[in-house]
Amino acid sequence: MPIGVWLVGARGSVATTAVVGAAAVRAGAAPPTGCVIEAADFPRDFTPLGDLVFGGHDVVATPLRKRAELLAQAGVLPPVLATLLAADLDAAEAEIRHGYVPGEESQAQAARRLAGDIADFRERHGLSRVVVVDVSSTEPPAEVPYATLADLEEALASGRDALPASSLYAYAAFTAGCGYVAFTPSAGPTPPALDELARRGGLPYAGRDGKTGETLVKSALAPMFAGRALRVRSWSGLNLLGGGDGATLADPAARESKSASKARAVPAIVGEDVEGLTHIDYVADLGEWKTAWDHITFEGFLGVRMTMQFTWQGCDSALAAPLVLDLVRLVARAHEAGHSGVLPELGYFFKDPLGGAGHDLPTQYARLVAFAQALSEGRP
């Protein structure tokens, strides 16, 4: 039975790539490379990529067809797909609604409107479930001063702008009875009042900040050092980001969210503080690509110092989009199976895994496989 994918940031690079990619796989024009749950370790009964229906919110107006052409020019999509799959792009385009713009309406009004958009989409397509995914631009860090759902709803009712935009979308998603995926480092569903709302509605969510590049490698390498009892002494990094993601992060406040998210993995895995900073720079010339260099010093037997460096040259949209398609299918199935609140079992996908999931990639992977199998076999 088809399920819905509601993308916040529906005209962004990740969203466009996800729409094109799902259609390409359905059309037999591409294999599901990069989709984790299509691999041999996973049960075969998740919703097929071809049974996903796309819609979403955005505040920019560039149509998906145009976005797909730009991504094709940038080398992210094979040029032929933008043409071949024009009908699929138009279908998703028809399901994009105007997003939330602070000041245009009260947050209470906006929340009702956004939730209504999602509910209409679900009904119009007869979808069993819709999962909302935040793939919009990263927000600066934000505090939500309302500790309980009651406090929050009172603030909204009194006309206040009580939430950062990402959390307003999560509020709307939960209000509409949908699971949620926080694919960015923004606050999204993390304020306690929203967790309360999700649990009350029996709604699962997962997050946060998709782990697609440098942090992925960190979470694979740090356990190697830890397992070998080699002591990591410093870990420094420079991330060069082009494209929309980089431009957002040219704003130091937004960059702070991202850097905080990135800094946690290594000390958490090796079990002690590690010297070193991770920088993020916007380099427009890189286009849709990003490059990260990491430099690690470590200590071996009898205090000998050694060094490792790596350079990662990735295309973020191509790495993120298949994970979005995985997450939607996992969260929909978890929703169906009665899971509610945060899903720490999905920590494998995230830089800053919610729910105490740990950062060690092999452990995260084993937990994900076990969770997927339990879902498939109807176990809790």
Q: Does 347 bind a second copy (CB under 8 A)?
A: no
Q: Could you give the string, one character per residue 300-339, with x where binding to a second copy holds by CB under 8 A and - elsewhere?
A: xxxxxxxxxxxxxxxx--xx-xx-----------------
* β-pair partners for 314: 290
Q: Does 358 bind a second copy (CB under 8 A)?
A: no
Cβ closer to a second copy: 276 or 355? 276
DSSP 251: S
Q: Does 20 bind a second copy (CB under 8 A)?
A: yes
Q: Does 370 bind a second copy (CB under 8 A)?
A: no
- Binder of a second copy out of 97, 113, 125, 233 (CB under 8 A): 233
CA distance readout (Å), 292 to 48, 135, 214, 225, 270:
33, 21, 6, 20, 21
Q: Does 64 bind a second copy (CB under 8 A)?
A: no
DSSP string over 16-39: HHHHHHHHHHHTTSS--TT-GGGS
Helices 107-124 and 149-157: crossing angle in degrees, nearest 10, is 110
Q: Give me the least distance between CB of 153 and a second copy, in Å please.
A: 40
Q: Does 284 bind a second copy (CB under 8 A)?
A: yes
Cβ closer to a second copy: 51 or 299? 299
Q: Could you give the string, one character per residue 262-281, with x where binding to a second copy holds by CB under 8 A and - elsewhere?
A: ---------x---xxx-x-x
Binding to a second copy (CB under 8 A) within 234-263 occurs at 234, 236-238, 240
Helices 64-73 and 13-26: crossing angle in degrees, nearest 10, is 90
Binding to a second copy (CB under 8 A) within 189-228 occurs at 216-217, 220-221, 223-224, 226-228
Query: In angstroms, rounded to a whole number, what is the distance separating the alpha carbons of residues 252 and 368?
Result: 34
Question: Does residue 113 have a cis peptide bond before it, meaning omega lies within 30 degrees of 0?
Answer: no
Instruction: Using the CB atoms, write b or e for 104-132: b if 16+ within 10 Å.
Output: eeebbebbbebbebbbebbeeeebebbbb
Number of residues that bind a second copy (CB under 8 A): 77
SS3 360: coil
Q: Give me the least distance between CB of 226 and a second copy, in Å please.
A: 8
Gap between the terminal Cα atoms of the chain: 22
CA distance readout (Å), 318 to 20, 158, 208:
11, 43, 18
CA-based nearest residue to 184, from 212, 204, 210, 165: 210
- Binder of a second copy out of 4, 9, 12, 21 (CB under 8 A): 21
Q: Give me the least distance between CB of 3 and a second copy, in Å please.
A: 20
- Cβ(203)–Cβ(177) under 8 Å? yes
**What is the amino acid identity at position 92?**
A
Region from 47-55, 159-167, 231-239, 331-339 binding a second copy, contact rule CB under 8 A: 231-239
Cβ closer to a second copy: 104 or 275? 275
Binding to a second copy (CB under 8 A) within 89-118 occurs at none
Cβ closer to a second copy: 311 or 373? 311
Q: Give me the least distance between CB of 239 and a second copy, in Å please.
A: 10
Cβ closer to a second copy: 2 or 223? 223
- Binder of a second copy out of 63, 78, 102, 126 (CB under 8 A): 78
Q: Does 165 bind a second copy (CB under 8 A)?
A: no
Tell me the backbone φ, ψ of residue 171, rounded to 5 degrees: -60, -45
Q: Give me the least distance between CB of 106 and a second copy, in Å please.
A: 39
Q: Give me the least distance between CB of 355 and a second copy, in Å please.
A: 20
Q: Does 365 bind a second copy (CB under 8 A)?
A: yes
- Binder of a second copy out of 268, 286, 337, 374 (CB under 8 A): 286
Region from 14-22, 103-111, 140-148, 195-203 binding a second copy, contact rule CB under 8 A: 14-22
Q: Does 376 bind a second copy (CB under 8 A)?
A: no
* β-pair partners for 341: 204
Cβ closer to a second copy: 161 or 293? 293
CA-based nearest residue to 180, from 204, 196, 208, 211: 204
- Cβ(160)–Cβ(107) under 8 Å? yes
